[in-house]
Chains A and B, each alone.
Chain A
Amino acid sequence: MTRLRTAPLAGLIVIILFGGILVSQALGRWNTTATKQPARYSSGDFAGQANPADIRGSYTWQDVENAFGLPAAAAAVAFSTSGHGFSPIDKINALEEAYAGAVPAGYEIGTDSVRLMAALHAGLPFTPEDGTLLPDAAVALLAARPGVDATAIGRYALSAVSGSAPLRPVVNAASAIVAPVPTIATSPAAAAVAPATATPVVSAPATAPAAQGPALGSQAGNGAALSATGRTLVGKTTFGELYAWGLTEAQVAAVIGYAPGPGSQSVRDSLAAVGLEFSAYKVALQALIDGLAP
């Protein structure tokens, strides 16, 4: 019989536990966070492709773009609310808090909504959980893609279950996908400014129910983005003005994808200098502005 006393047992417990962790580290198996590389379909027509069902709440919008091609900036904006403006570097698990109380009982806008959107965007098979919804802006974003069955997607819209009027999709030639700008509920002044003719518009529910919370605003597709805060991004707006309004350099960089130029440089000029279209980023930046406290 081999006896083991208390002190050696204590030592063995510690040694085996931490020794095992060290060995797993050496083998590259000690991962305490998600790898941000979703599992792949193991069989069927889509075998080998990334499976949106494996998107985790710890993913950022950028991680989702990397895995599924869903444009991070546009998607982040599409899921933004008047109280929560998202940027590509934000984690998607913040959605549940952003939409808490804003979605009818039995429904949810959360991580599963992002899975659904990534699947619909990439044309991948995915079965959402019961009650999974998409913000109207996200539905509009998807519906703007060529060949998409807007009616089928529309059943996931928040407005489809909350009783408010559905959104019309944005179409913008400058970008394959442009999301509508979520802002504070549409003001009469904004409605008056919004063009009513050929310019595609995302319209907000005429009377958004108070309980709905995150209200979607209006945007002139080719003109200035309208904001209830009165801080409107136009072509002449400089980075300095953005910072003065409260945005940080990191937030701006997260949207445009590179370090912003000097404060005196206009956003449009800066983007043009690197071959980017101002219109493709305007909505995302405006969403961040609108997400700031008035």
Chain B
Amino acid sequence: MAIAVKTIRRNKNSPWLRRVIQIFFLLLVAVVATGGALAERGVAIPAFVESASLHAICPFGGVVSFWQLITAGTLVKKVHESSVVLAVIALALSVLFGSVACGWICPLGSVQEWLGSLGRKIFKKKYNHFVPVKLDKALRWLRYAMLAWVTWMTIVSGKLLFQDFDPYYALFNFWTGEVAIAGAVILAATLLLSLFVERPFCKYACPYGAFQGIFNLFRVFGVKRIAATCIGCKACDKACPMNIEVSTAGTVRDHQCITCLRCSSEAVCPVADTVVLAAGRLGASGRSETGKELAS
């Protein structure tokens, strides 16, 4: 029996909705990073981040503190309880949606992505395909080595040693003079490489992205491709910032997926309800079993 394929006009609002949220979190983190200077000028700061440092709102601090928290009941220096709270919240988001914090919240990811838009205009189809596939695949595991190294060094030293190498910290502190040379160099390299490769730091080096990515393997809501209606145009593959082959997947379990939904039928996929974010199993035919929507 032939399956009717319904094409739709792309919902242009979806990418913008994510962009609005990305901008919001970028501004929020910027406010926190400059909080002291703003307060001195009498600018009101949201109460929940008042007097907070950048470390206080970084969930990764909560992640690398876990060992000290369990064994000694204390946190790594410069890490506060709010970091642990955010780590737990991010964990919940990851279990539900995968690395959604990377795709929607992380300001460093957003900045790389926006620079990537410029790179895409410059290099057109070549953009994001400069790195040979084999090398690219191997390099993607580097971030797990980073995660292991950062976690181990933090456990051993009880300090946030990664701060000196962290482009995220450098991005929001470049004006303070507190940024280590290594951090500044890595930030500059990240921004420069973003013109050639989309989200280079996320792909190859981010330890928190590596941690989040683990949850893509068993997240509740995953990106699913309905094979029965897929026309094989590979628009989803081309749109994916992380170079994931969505067009060959049933459910995307790739540890690099950032749940940006640029591949979805609400964005680039030309066929309605074919690439979707959904929970539950696909039917034997590759179709949705219930088609039930949580919300629309």
Contacts and interface: CB of A to CB of B under 8 A. Distances in A.
Contact of B105 (A13, A39, A54, A57): A13
A1 B89 contact: no
A20 to B, nearest CB: 4
Contact of B224 (A1, A13, A17, A33): A1
Nearest to B55: A32
Contacts of A24: 81-82, 85
Contacts, number: 133
B85 A21 contact: yes
A32 B105 contact: no
A118 to B, nearest CB: 15
Given A6-B14, A20-B85, A39-B72, A32 B292 contact: no
Given A13-B100, A20-B88, A32-B53, 14 more contacts: A1-B283, A3-B278, A4-B279, A4-B294, A5-B14, A5-B266, A5-B277, A5-B293, A7-B14, A7-B295, A10-B17, A14-B21, A29-B81, A56-B77
12 contacts: A2-B279, A3-B273, A4-B221, A4-B279, A5-B14, A5-B295, A6-B11, A10-B104, A17-B89, A21-B89, A30-B48, A39-B72
B280 A1 contact: yes
Interface string B46-68: 00111111001100000000000
Contacts of B56: 32-33
B93 interface: yes
A2 B85 contact: no
Contacts of B82: 24, 30-32
Interface residues of B, number: 59
A16 B97 CA distance: 12
B280 A32 contact: no
B293 A2 contact: yes
Nearest to B267: A6
B21 A13 contact: yes
A21 to B, nearest CB: 6
B78 interface: yes
A25 interface: yes
A16 B293 contact: no
Contacts of A7: 13-14, 17, 295
8 smallest beta-carbon distances between A and B, as pairs: A32-B52, A8-B295, A20-B89, A32-B56, A1-B280, A39-B74, A6-B14, A31-B81
A198 interface: no
A34 interface: yes
B191 interface: no
Contact of B292 (A1, A42, A56): A1
B281 A17 contact: no
A10 B21 contact: yes
A1 B93 CA distance: 19
Nearest to A19: B89
Contacts of A30: 48, 81-82, 85
Contacts of A10: 17-18, 21, 104
B285 interface: no
A104 to B, nearest CB: 21
Contact of A6 (B77, B261, B282): B261
Interface in B73-109: 73-74, 77-78, 80-82, 84-86, 88-89, 92-93, 96-97, 100, 104-105
A3 B289 contact: no
Nearest to B68: A39
A32 to B, nearest CB: 3
A90 to B, nearest CB: 15
A244 interface: no
B18 A3 contact: no
